Every structure is written in C-alpha cells, then in structure tokens.
C-alpha cells in the first residue's frame, strides 16, 4: 500500500502587529465639524498609522453598535495615548469633555497627553499647563503638525514617530497649511457674546500660601505685616474698564496691589490715598474670613470728574489655581470736588 505523504504543516501566521496608537478627539456635539476636520487630518496624514476615536463620527473608530455610549467612551479614553480637546467658548458646559480627559489622565491607565485646541481667548484652567494649540494661529498649527508627524516623543508609550517625514520639511509645512485652511471655515465666532460691567471691575489673586500668612499675621495682631504681604503678593488677574477709565493705562494684568497704588498716584499727583486704604482693609478682612466694612472713599476717574469707591463684592478659594480671588467693583457715587482756587496774593499793607 502506498503511503501517503504527511499533510503539509500550515504556514505560520505572521506575527501580530503591535497595537496602533489611539488618538481620542474630545468635543461637544455642537463642535462636531471641527472634530471631523481634526480626525480626517490625523487619519489622512498619518497613513492609517494611528486609530482615531470620535464618538460623533461613524467613519472613525466610534462606538460599536449595541454598546453603551458611556462604556465605549470610557474604554477609548482609557486606552488613548493622546487626547485632542476641542475647546471653544468657556461659558458653555464642558463637564462631559472634562470627564473624558479625566479618564485619559487617570494614573491607573496608560499615560495620555492632553492637547487642547483653543478656539477662543482661553483654555480650561485645569489644563492651562498642558500643551495647547491656538487654532487661529498658523504657527501653532505648524508646531502641532510637526510634532504629530515627526516627533517620536509625541505619543506616550510609542517609541517611534507616526511618519518618516523630516522635521520641518516641506511635506510637514504643506500638511500644516492644509489643516489651517480646513479649520478656518468651521471656526466658531471669536467673540460670540459680549459682556459689559456697569462699573469698573478688578479681580485680585492671592496665592494660598500668602493668604495663610496674612491670616496668621492678623491672628497675632500684626496688621502691618498682613497689609505688607497683601501689597506685595496680591496681583491683578482680570479687569474690565478700570485700567483705562481710572488709571489711564491700557493693561495692568499681573500688577501688584502696591503697583496699583503707584499708578493712581502718577495719574492724580497729590490726591489722597483713602480709597486705597479702604480697599486694603476690605481685602485683609476677606483674607481672614471676616466681613469687610465698607467706607465710601473715592478715587477720581481719569478726567477727574467722577468719584469711584472700591467695593469688595465677593471672594473665593480656587483649588485648581491654588489662589484666593477677590472681586472688586469701583462704584460711582459722586462728582470729584473742583480744584480749590489759589489763595489771593497779598496786596498792600494794613
């Protein structure tokens, strides 16, 4: 009987390729058009070397049929090595996007990089120290494109770059120009809403360690030490109409409380500082969790016609920025007194 040859062993399966990096596009539903542009750009320019998860687009690695949306998003956010956060207007509800970024940033999951695409004047305070890209700035888009396509350090956990393109090469510059051009038609309005304050407004920030020192000095009866700390450490972080209308300058963000006093003296030489003493007294009280006592002590406006009294309307402790914030409005309450007539010169003798 003729023996049959043993069946040939099946060909060995090729080794499984390592998992592709996952880039998660976090966005609000209203910003789906922006997310579409970013997702398509990543897929197209990386040649499929990265997976993209965008829940609002079924052409990306979005939620699977029959699966819970929140479960799928949680899974993808946990697996992502990069999150592209589409951040438009700060006055909208960002809780869900912050939840997605929080899962991606969870130390119990693989490291993820948050890249905030900024379409307005700010990024979330929580991610202020993270990478952010001003989508209206072509240089920012060029930097992002170069890092995405050529920097091996861009993808945490993946040792190589997504493409073999040369850093800052012509292909990278062309890709950046293309992304910038495609983003422009879907950009939200730069200033969709306008706000206006009835009175000049200043917000002061005092870091929490300095606030604790102020409180300690006051508990020991060292009022002068507490005031000195405030003068040196309390800085202006936000303002509306106050800089120009009251102090004759265009900008004074990061100016200290002491610097504000000097500005007033330069604007109105010889004018009393009772308004400033009242302001400091209110800040000292707030820094020690006491209700401030209001005294109407006026600061003249730039034209020296109206008087404005500083009124502390509220304060809050911000753990994310580790500071106490004080909101101060300069409330108009009267006209500035007319300059006194010079004394008559002496004539004749008695």
Q: Identify whether the C-beta of residue 283 lies closer than 8 Å to the C-beta of residue 234.
A: yes
In a domain, 349, yes or no: no
In a domain, 15, yes or no: no
pLDDT of 193 reads 52
Number of structural domains (the chain) is: 2
Of 134, 163, 186, the one marking the end of a domain is 186
In a domain, 106, yes or no: yes
Does 103 score more than 60 pLDDT? yes
In a domain, 135, yes or no: yes
Of 159, 186, 213, the one marking the end of a domain is 186
Q: pLDDT band at 73, cuts 50/70/90?
A: confident
Q: Identify whether the C-beta of residue 171 lies closer than 8 Å to the C-beta of residue 177.
A: no
Q: pLDDT band at 132, cuts 50/70/90?
A: confident
- pLDDT tens-digit readout, 104-121: 888 777 778 999 998 877
Q: Are 141 and 241 in a shared domain?
A: no
Q: Using CA atoms of 18, 24, 25, 28 in order, give the dihedral in degrees to the nearest 10.
A: 150
CATH number at 164 reads 3.40.50
Considering the entire predicted model, what is its pTM? 0.51
Measured distance CA(138)–CA(122) in Å, rounded: 17
Strands (DSSP E) contained in the chain are 22-26, 51-53, 82-87, 113-118, 131-134, 201-207, 235-240, 299-300, 306-318, 323-335
Measured distance CA(242)–CA(191) in Å, rounded: 21
Does 349 score more than 90 pLDDT? no
Measured distance CA(222)–CA(327) in Å, rounded: 25
In a domain, 195, yes or no: no
Does 13 score more than 70 pLDDT? no
pLDDT of 289 reads 85
With b meaning 16 or more CB within 10 Å and e meaning fewer, what string describes 151-165? Answer: eeebbeebeebbbeb
Does 22 score more than 50 pLDDT? yes
Q: Would you say how long the chain is, in residues?
A: 350
pLDDT of 190 reads 61
- pLDDT tens-digit readout, 284-307: 999 888 888 888 888 888 777 788
When mean pLDDT is compared across 55-59, 100-104, 255-259, 283-287, the lowest value belongs to 55-59
Q: Are 160 and 38 in a shared domain?
A: yes
| Percent of residues, the chain, with pLDDT higher than 90 | 43
**Where is pLDDT greater, at 270 or 73?**
73
Q: Are 222 and 82 in a shared domain?
A: no
Q: Are 34 and 83 in a shared domain?
A: yes
Structural domain boundaries enclosing 324: 201-335
Q: Are 233 and 317 in a shared domain?
A: yes
Does 280 score more than 90 pLDDT? yes
Q: Are 147 and 231 in a shared domain?
A: no
In a domain, 83, yes or no: yes
The whole-chain average pLDDT of the chain stands at: 81
Q: Are 213 and 247 in a shared domain?
A: yes
Measured distance CA(97)–CA(109) in Å, rounded: 18
Q: Residue 307's beta-bridge partner residues?
A: 300, 334
In a domain, 94, yes or no: yes
In a domain, 347, yes or no: no
Distances 342 to 62, 177, 199, 265, 269 between C-alpha atoms, Å: 80, 67, 34, 22, 17
Does 266 score more than 60 pLDDT? yes
In this prediction, residues 234-246 reach a mean pLDDT of: 83
Of 154, 186, 218, the one marking the end of a domain is 186
Q: Are 87 and 129 in a shared domain?
A: yes
């Amino acid at each position: 009987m003729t023996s049959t040859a043993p069946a040939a062993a099946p060909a060995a399966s090729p080794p499984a390729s390592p998992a592709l990096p996952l880039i998660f596009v976090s966005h609000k539903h209203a910003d789906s058009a922006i997310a579409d542009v970013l997702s398509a750009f990543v897929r197209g320019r990386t040649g499929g070397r990265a997976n993209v998860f965008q829940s609002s687009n079924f052409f990306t690695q979005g939620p699977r049929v029959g699966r819970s949306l929140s479960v799928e998003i949680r899974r993808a956010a946990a697996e992502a090595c990069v999150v592209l956060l589409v951040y438009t207007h700060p006055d909208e509800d960002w809780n869900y996007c912050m939840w997605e970024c929080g899962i991606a940033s969870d130390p119990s999951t693989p490291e993820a990089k948050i890249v905030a695409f900024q379409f307005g004047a700010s990024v979330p305070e929580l991610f202020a120290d993270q990478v952010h890209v001003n989508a209206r700035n072509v240089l920012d888009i060029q930097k992002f494109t170069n890092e995405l396509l050529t920097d091996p350090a861009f993808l945490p956990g993946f040792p190589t770059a997504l493409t073999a393109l040369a850093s800052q090469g012509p292909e990278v510059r062309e890709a950046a120009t293309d992304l910038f051009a495609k983003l422009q038609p879907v950009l939200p309005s730069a200033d969709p809403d306008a706000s206006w304050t009835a009175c000049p407004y200043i917000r002061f920030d005092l870091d929490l360690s300095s606030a604790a020192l102020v409180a300690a000095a006051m508990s020991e009866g060292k009022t002068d030490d507490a005031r000195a700390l405030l003068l040196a450490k309390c800085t202006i972080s936000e303002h509306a109409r106050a800089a120009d209308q009251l102090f004759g300058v265009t900008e004074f963000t990061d100016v200290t409380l002491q610097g504000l006093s000097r500005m007033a003296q330069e604007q109105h030489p010889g004018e009393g500082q009772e308004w400033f003493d009242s302001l400091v007294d209110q800040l000292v009280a707030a820094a020690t969790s006491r209700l401030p006592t209001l005294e109407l002590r006026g600061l003249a406006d730039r034209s020296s016609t109206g008087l404005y009294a500083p009124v502390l309307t509220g304060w809050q402790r911000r753990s994310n920025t580790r500071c106490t914030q004080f909101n101060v409005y300069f409330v108009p309450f009267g006209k500035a007194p007319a300059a006194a007539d010079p004394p008559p010169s002496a004539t004749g003798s008695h």
